[in-house]
A and B are shown apart, each in its own frame.
Chain A
Amino acid sequence: MKMLCLIALTAFATGTTARAQMGTNTAPHFLRLLDIHADIAEGILGGHTFTNRGHVHVSSPGFDMTCEQLVASSPQSGGRVNHIVAETNVVIDATDAKGQTVHATSDKAVYDYSVENGVTNEPITLTGNPQPQVIIHQVGFVSTNWADVFIWNRANNVFRSMGNERSLTGPTSAETNAPPTATNELAAPKMSLPPGADTNFPPGSLDLVRPRGGRGGPGF
């Protein structure tokens, strides 16, 4: 299985190597308080699973997500909510403390919360068809990425991608400063590419940015 460290928001800004390991003690878990709106909710009183259907909207500080179905679960052994599955037209918009924004779309997103040896892990795994897309906006910079699987660890803001990875990276233009639209379309926003990048490939054919050092993706 090919696994690439695609983008690390912090490392991107500082030029350091992205951290591939999951988890850190420095960041508090980000999904602490979930506010969920939906058409329908169902579950078992005192149970361990809660399901929302239809126009689901989840908000938490710095995090917004919409989808058609969301199932939140806690383990049988305890009450801690540790597993959330969002399905169908999943759209995530997140902003970190530095104002960097992430716009992600996928068919399915799975959030897992765990603490191992005092380290908090909160990966969000994006999968499904159409291929998941992640657009990262930073000051003066935007990166659009596709892959069959993204594993986004919010604890350290590292994205890992697997399978059919593609990336477009360039400085933010007036067009790409616009708020990302909530869509699952794979069409990349118009952007300025760095010198040498070949823009003649049709979408989905080849990576538009040549990997460096065999790791793939910009910034490495």
Chain B
Amino acid sequence: MAGAVLLAGCNKSGDNVVETRAPQDAPGHTRDFTSVKYFDAAPFQQQMKWRLSGADAQPLGELLVIKQAKMETFNTNGSRQAIGEAPECVYDIKNGVASSAGHLRLQSGDGKARAEGDGFLWRQDDSFFIISNHTHEVFEIGSETNIGL
């Protein structure tokens, strides 16, 4: 059951993460992959903290290779903090880390701050991210946009 492989490590007891998937084309290949983490603290348990999604996902050992990946973080009021898009990334489900040697494009929820570059890592636990090459950011001083996008 390839689906069970995809879910491994994600629906542990007490882990507020939900994986959803569309029907599979072939063993281990999932279209419209989505992984969601909800806020732990009351009263926001029904609000998404982050969402990682992709057009499709394929297992690579204990990892997932996600095509057309989209990474989103949210505020407790449901508004989107930031969105990142990458043509491809590798998702380490167990450690909650998405990374890629390819391009990443980040944008704040209101679109007033932008960042992009080649090669990135996004650690879901604390929303830490690093863009490792050729980074380019544009942001406004005086806007209400968070510097962290």
Binding site for B on A (CB under 8 A): 29, 31-50, 52, 72-74, 78-82, 113
Question: Can you show 17 pairs from A to B with CB atoms below 8 A apart?
Answer: A29-B141, A34-B139, A36-B135, A36-B136, A38-B135, A42-B131, A45-B73, A45-B81, A45-B127, A45-B129, A45-B149, A46-B75, A46-B127, A50-B139, A80-B141, A81-B143, A81-B147
Nearest A-chain residue to B128, judged by Cβ: A44
Closest 4 CB pairs of A and B: A47-B148, A46-B81, A41-B135, A42-B130
C-alpha spacing A45/B120, complex, angstroms: 13
C-alpha spacing A55/B144, complex, angstroms: 27
Contact, CB under 8 Å: A49 / B148: yes
Q: How large is the interface on B (under 10, 10 to 19, 20 to 34, 35 or more residues)?
A: 20 to 34
The binding surface of chain B is classed by DSSP as strand
C-alpha spacing A80/B143, complex, angstroms: 6
Binding site for A on B (CB under 8 A): 73, 75, 81-82, 84, 106, 115, 117, 122, 126-149
Distance in Å from the Cβ of B147 to the closest Cβ of chain A?
5
Contact, CB under 8 Å: B148 / A35: no
- B144: chain A residues at CB < 8 Å are 78-80
Distance in Å from the Cβ of B102 to the closest Cβ of chain A?
16
- B140: chain A residues at CB < 8 Å are 32-34, 81
Distance in Å from the Cβ of B86 to the closest Cβ of chain A?
14
C-alpha spacing A50/B147, complex, angstroms: 6
- A38: chain B residues at CB < 8 Å are 135
C-alpha spacing A44/B122, complex, angstroms: 9
- B141: chain A residues at CB < 8 Å are 29, 31-34, 80-82, 113
Q: A44-B127, A45-B73 are in contact. Are A36 and B137 (CB under 8 A)?
A: yes
Contact, CB under 8 Å: A41 / B137: yes
Distance in Å from the Cβ of B48 to the closest Cβ of chain A?
13
- B133: chain A residues at CB < 8 Å are 39-40
Of A34, A41, A49, A82, the residue contacting B117 (CB under 8 A) is A41
